Amino acid sequence: MPAGRAEMLAWIDRQQDRLLETVAAWAGISSWSRDPGGIEAMQTAAAQAFGCLGPVSRIPARPREEITDTGEERSVAVADILSLRREAAAACPRVLLGIHLDTVHSPGPACPPVELTEQGRILRGPGVTDAKGGLAVMLVAIEAFERYGPADRLGWEVFINADEELGSPGSGLFLAEAATRNDLGLLYEPAIDDAGTLAGARKGSGNFTIVIRGRAAHAGRHFADGRNALTVAARLALACDRLNAAGRDLTVNVAALHGGEAFNVVPDLAVLRINVRAATADDAGWATSRLQEAVTQADDTEGCSATLHGTFHCPPKPLDARTRALLERVAAAGESLGLAIEQQPTGGVCDGNKLAAAGLPTIDTLGVRGGGIHSPGEYLVVESLVERAKLTALVLADLASRGLP
């Protein structure tokens, strides 16, 4: 291994305590996607940390549109995107690196504590793996590359968004534009498992909301005058669930049903929420059509109306030749560190789906090893902080030295 790379790896080794302390501190900041105050606090901490690499800009995100539990459409502000760049000569490769700082964990007594367990081998807490560990890995890896290079032969751009757990509705346009400015993408979602497996192909994801409106009536005196929106919603939910048996590579999850208040009132409103995962664009289109057909059949059933909202916010991400070549580069870097890095398909989605759809070959699970994401048991394997920072630093150095795959 060249002397400069050995020095780079040794420097990363010395960042172990700093990495752990940083992730623990960030996990102590509640940054639930729907908590503007917590997001702002986390953005301030991240901007301060990444300031060592250069000026951090704030890019306005578009408002997101949502359907409330009362069936109304509304726009909700989305926090800015944090961004910084290092320019290089036009002939040099350009890399987009990024990750989100929002989490699924709402603040309050149910939010898990941040704690170091198992003789310091495991860090537990909200967002430690998804994805504040990845955020710290990305920072230290870029720092190491900038110190030991060859930094002048690679351009890079960093983005940190705050709405990924909602499907990146506000930052999606920025991601599509950033994809056109770069040659490849590296994202810091957690590894698929605690062995460090990378994601290959990803399914696409669509979020759909069906609003059913009926007619309220007294459940005792005038029951026949009512039109029960909940019973129509229940039949729709079962119709959507039956799509799982259609023999296609997709899943349809009936995720939530809201409606009704008092026992003695025929409910006049129901809001049904559905998530669909599909491996191909054809399956995504088929599922969307079937949902619309079911809603059309339910519309005006027994005096009720039904309306479908939503779309596939994350297109499927197939494993194409360019991404496979990039995976091979990452695996080779891992091998030089004594790591056997595999890849496998997954039903999970992330911003890598959007970047790939915009034409950018992207590896999107370069974050830490761990597990229990999106649950109170979320954990991070502490040794993977240094391990994954080294992996990225070597990939960057390789791209700067050898060019694109």
Distance CA 222, CA 383 (A): 66
End-to-end alpha-carbon separation of the chain, Å? Answer: 20
Distance CA 169, CA 164 (A): 8
Three-state SS string over 67-83 comes to ECCCCCEEEECCCCEEE
Strand (E) or helix (H) holding 211: strand 204-213
Question: Which DSSP category does 365 fall into?
Answer: B
Q: Per the structure block, which two tokens stand in for 370?
A: 């761990």
Q: SS3 for 161?
A: strand
Residue with token string 């091998």: 335
Res 275 pLDDT > 70: yes
Q: SS3 for 282?
A: helix
Distance CA 136, CA 38 (A): 18
* Averaged pLDDT for residues 164-178: 97
Strand partners for 277: 205, 251
Reference 59, options 88, 26, 81; nearest CA is: 81
| pTM score, whole prediction | 0.94
Res 38 pLDDT > 70: yes
For residue 2, name the pLDDT band (cuts at 50, 70, 90). confident
- Contacts (Cβ under 8 Å, ≥6 apart) of 282: none
| Cβ–Cβ under 8 Å, residues 42 and 29 | yes
Q: Per the structure block, which two tokens stand in for 191?
A: 């590894």
Reference 136, options 20, 267, 38; nearest CA is: 20
Q: SS3 for 172?
A: helix
Please give the share of the chain, as a percent, with pLDDT higher than 70: 100
**E-strand spans in 50-203?**
57-59, 64-67, 73-76, 81-86, 94-100, 115-117, 122-124, 155-161, 184-187, 198-202
**Average per-residue pLDDT for the chain:** 96
* Averaged pLDDT for residues 351-364: 97
* Averaged pLDDT for residues 16-24: 98
- Over the stretch 207-229, which tens digit does the pLDDT of each residue have? 999 999 999 999 999 999 999 99
For residue 302, name the pLDDT band (cuts at 50, 70, 90). confident
Question: Which DSSP category does 45 fall into?
Answer: H
